[in-house]
Amino acid sequence: MRVLFLSLILSLSLFLPTKYVSGQATTKPEETQLFVSGMGGYHTYRIPSLLVAKDGSLLAFAEGRKSGSGDTGDIDLLLKRSEDGGRSWSEPRVLWDDGTNVCGNPSPVLDENTGEIHLLLTWNRGDDNEGDIIRKKSRDTRRVFVMKSSDHGKTWSEPTDITQGAKNPEWGWYATGPGIGIQINHGPHKGRLVIPSDHSYDDPAGEVRGGPFEYGSHVIYSDDRGVTWNLGGTIRPRMNECQVVEVADGNGSLLMNMRSYFGTNRRALSVSRDGGLSWSDPEEASTLIEPVCQAALIRYSWPADPAGDLVLFSNPASTKRENMTVKLSKDSGRTWVASKMLHAGPAAYSALAVLPNGEILCAYEKGAQHPYEEISLARLSLADFE
């Protein structure tokens, strides 16, 4: 089934107060530095992820890259934890360091029933790069792992390899998220844990890394509270890093928002009506400009809540990695009615979280000269979009 609900962003220029310019709030949000490149023994910090634990603790994940900003080499998975909504933080903790290998792409999901946090992530040899893994010329392949915390992120299990159930053996590259997973709240698949992911696959007509390969998006899911993980449906072609929200239709339908290689510098969307087992063909999200980059997507509230059906989205709203912007939707991510620019300069990957008090947090890569100088945490409220 094709997605038919794509439409233009509503024009608010005649109805917004003076702090708006073309639908965008102009006041500057409060920001603090989470990770600063060159400090703490790491050349660069990248790939932020935020999660609010069941007790309200805030977890900030990132990759600590020893040798540079590239995706290969010695990369560790790091965590900082806050018990006051991100006002103060613990020292960075190394969750996984496998020598000179790559441990990253954090994608945590909270089981709201048990309070357990399942952290999905990926691994590969540090001397294997993405191109070789895609072309099946690498020494090893990209593998999928999971870690678990039962105490709101204070302690964690050792990484467990779930590649066999989570990855098609014919695939090359693989990435969980990066960002967060969700738990379905309604419908026949209520309680299912869903992790948006992406992969490379063989395609005679493909043009990835010189072909014949392509990129696709997919999900992995668990129906037994994270004990086992299964491979869900795929979205192809030319899809990549992705995030998902549950649509407010009462049936547990899912909306996937994806990094796209359609060549139009626009995001793409797909819908699942069976808990992620199958997906509609990808369609361009004409109002969501992107430089071909990761983005964040999160539900703020449901229609029954006082705020209504609100979803938030963040990405570099440009054809270049710059202009980090958070957008607000009042219809489950179909259209976007207001936005807030956080940083006009270089910016790249981002993560969103909603605190119990309703505050909105956006962790994002930013800098003055290039996007990977630091990971900053911006603090907003719904009032920033009014």
Confidence of residue 1 (pLDDT cuts 50, 70, 90): very low
The per-residue pLDDT for range 248-267, each reduced to its tens digit, is 999 999 999 999 999 999 99
- How many CA atoms does the CB half-sphere of 267 hold within 13 Å? 30
The per-residue pLDDT for range 65-99, each reduced to its tens digit, is 998 889 999 999 999 999 999 999 999 999 999 99
At 22 the pLDDT is: 40
- The residue-averaged pLDDT of 334-363 equals 97
Domain coordinates of the chain in residue numbers? 37-161, 181-287, 290-385
Q: Share the mean pLDDT of the chain.
A: 93
At 268 the pLDDT is: 98
The CATH number fitting domain 37-161, selected from 3.40.30.10, 3.40.190.10, 2.120.10.10, 3.40.718.10: 2.120.10.10
Q: Phi/psi at 132 (nearest 5 deg)?
A: -70, -35
Confidence of residue 26 (pLDDT cuts 50, 70, 90): low
- Rounded to whole angstroms, the Cα distance separating 66 from 55 reads 33
Q: Rounded to 5 degrees, what angle do the CA atoms 19, 295, 332 make? A: 70
User: Taking 90 as the threshold, does the pLDDT of residue 134 lie above it?
Assistant: yes
At 24 the pLDDT is: 54
At 12 the pLDDT is: 27
- The residue-averaged pLDDT of 27-51 equals 95
Confidence of residue 2 (pLDDT cuts 50, 70, 90): very low
- The residue-averaged pLDDT of 103-128 equals 98
Q: What is the 3-state secondary structure (H, E, C) of the chain?
A: CCCCCCCCCCCCCCCCCCCEECCEECCCCEEEEEEECCCCCCCEEEEEEEEECCCCCEEEEEEEECCCCCCCCCEEEEEEEECCCCCCCCCCEEEECCCCCEEEEEEEEECCCCCCEEEEEEEECCCCCHHHHHCCCCCCCCEEEEEEECCCCCCCCCCEECHHHHCCCCCCCEEECCCCCEECCCCCCCCCEEEEEEEEEECCCCCHHHCCEEEEEEEEEECCCCCCCEEEEEECCCEEEEEEEECCCCCCCEEEEEEECCCCCEEEEEEECCCCCCCCCCEEEEEEECCCCCCEEEEEECCCCCCCCEEEEEEECCCCCEEEEEEEECCCCCCCCEEEEEEEEEEEEEEEEECCCCCEEEEEEECCCCCCCEEEEEEECHHHHC
- The residue-averaged pLDDT of 316-333 equals 98
At 386 the pLDDT is: 82
At 28 the pLDDT is: 82
Higher pLDDT, 209 or 49: 49
Going by DSSP bridges, is the β-strand pair 230-235/213-222 parallel, antiparallel, or unpaired? antiparallel
Confidence of residue 189 (pLDDT cuts 50, 70, 90): very high
